[in-house]
Chains A and B, each alone.
Chain A
Amino acid sequence: MEAKRRELVPLALLWGAGIATLVILIILLAYILANGLPVISWHFLTGEPALWGQTGGGIYSTIVATLAVTGISLLVAAPLSVGGAIYLNEYTKETPLRMVIRQAAEILAGIPSIIVGLFGFLFFVIYLAPLTGGWSMISGGLTLAFMVLPISLRTSEEALKTVPTELREGSLGIGATKWQSITTVVLPTALPGIITGLILGVGRAVGETAAILLTAGGSLNLIHSLRDPGRPMTLNIYDVLSEYRDTTTAYGTAAVLIIAILAITLITDWLMNNYTKKLKGL
């Protein structure tokens, strides 16, 4: 009895830790949304940025820049990660090479964004300047691809692993070649999981700042080509704060960004749930 009573304190502390974590998230989101949602208007989303030295204005050019760098990173990372996952899961046994590749992806995932940015700056912005245009959407997008790749590779591999072996064997058993069974049986079954991995990667790309700071240029003008420098939304929050402490624009941009990221998280959750339901129904 005495022991049970003394346990109330640690148990209450554990509950407290769980609640504290939840409260931290709620405060953070409530603060940004309460200040940011009133700023968002049609004009804010589609309007031109304020002239240099002034505050306010729209963030259309930063939304376009975010879409551009994210799109480029996905275009590069998606085939690499899906192809890599197929190779790792379908074509190799548990060999040292496979462990090395997986370890490399693991290390890549742990590298701080500023270091990925340094690499992108040196390689894409300076070394490949004639191709990428120096600081540009291409340089930013290619740098982001290095951050998207490990996430989507790992998730795609997990998705391929969950495809039941019987499906592969059944397909091979009725005379399909290995490639045919991968494209017509394995990939369609694993597709929701693969898409989830890509969406997680998109979330990472949309929210990244430090790597973008060193590679994308930061110009507020609307981009006309992918070789133009631009300023994605994350960088805009930092820049408007450090340039003129324009908190209004920063709140609005942060709210748009948070809504986009939360939507991405919800879509991933929904896809994952549907996916597991479908697998159970097989």
Chain B
Amino acid sequence: MVSSVWRPTDSFADGLWGIFPIIIGSLLVTLGAVAIGTPLGVACAIFLAEIAPAPVRRVLVPSVNALAGVPSVVYGFFGLLVIVPWIRGQFGGFGTSVLASWLILFIMILPTIISISTDSIRAVPREYKEGSLAMGATHWQTIRSVLVPAASSGIIASVILGMGRAIGETMAVLMVAGNSITIPNSIFAPTSTLTAQIALEMGYATGAHREALFAMGIVLFAFIMILTGLANLASRRRITY
């Protein structure tokens, strides 16, 4: 299973089921999206919870909800017609690539990170903030050294849940990642993920090939359970304050 050749319809070798490159692809795509989405998402959450004036918030909160409501296939469509040609034009290659997946996925995990982080920053007791301001700290000093540390467990949980969303995302990645089962040697090279490969091959897979796809589903499920467990652990820490 951890070998690196995936040739499910190879009649000579009786099928080869190495999903190692696919797991690497999934992790690579997920970590990159989280690396881009976390700073923007957390900053936007701090902005929403602490800085945005009421009218701005009234526009931004439904916008974040709308971002969460856009179907994944529409994100993939947008990626395929806008981001992929842009990458092809700027950097060469096919355009369908690791980078294209990052640029689409980070948008898709923003709502998760923003809404959970905003809630946890707002859940910090008022006294913390007032105490800090009363001691002469400025608003930014208070945000940086009081509010964000106090909300850190919720913020971490939001990032982990965003990671779960990214690793489980199928359609958008399927449409922009290129679905090539090799370990990519640059961010402009195509890659594949567990989700995309299941979606792509399930329609015609039979016998052992189908079982291999189910095994990939189980690997993906294990990742999700680990991430959910970690997110629960992170947010449970909040009680100890």
Contacts and interface: CB of A to CB of B under 8 A. Distances in A.
Interface of A: 3-4, 7, 10-11, 13-18, 20-22, 24-25, 28-29, 31-32, 106-107, 110-115, 117-118, 121-122, 203, 206-210, 213-214, 234-235, 237-238, 241-242, 247, 250, 254, 257-258, 261-262, 264-265, 269
B116 interface: no
A117 B43 CA distance: 34
A27 B139 CA distance: 32
Nearest to B50: A14
7 contacts: A4-B138, A110-B168, A122-B214, A208-B71, A210-B199, A213-B171, A214-B202
B113 to A, nearest CB: 10
Nearest to A21: B44
Contacts of B77: 32, 237, 241, 250, 254
Given A14-B47, A22-B60, 19 more contacts: A7-B141, A11-B140, A17-B44, A18-B43, A18-B44, A21-B60, A22-B59, A25-B66, A111-B168, A112-B164, A118-B214, A203-B69, A206-B71, A207-B71, A209-B170, A210-B171, A237-B74, A238-B171, A241-B77
Contacts of B138: 3-4, 7
Interface stretch (B7-15, B94-102, B182-190, B217-225): B217-225
B168 A234 contact: no
Contacts of B35: none
B217 A118 contact: yes
Nearest to A121: B202
Q: Give the interface residue-count category, chain B.
A: 35 or more
A8 B47 CA distance: 14
Contacts of A21: 40, 44, 60, 63-64, 67, 110, 114
A255 to B, nearest CB: 10
A115 B167 CA distance: 12
Contacts, number: 169
A interface, over-half SS: helix
In the A-B complex, list the 7 residue pairs whose CB atoms are closest, starting with the nearest: A112-B168, A207-B71, A17-B43, A210-B170, A18-B47, A7-B140, A209-B73
A22 B64 CA distance: 8
B161 to A, nearest CB: 7
B70 A28 contact: yes
Contacts of A209: 71-73, 170-171
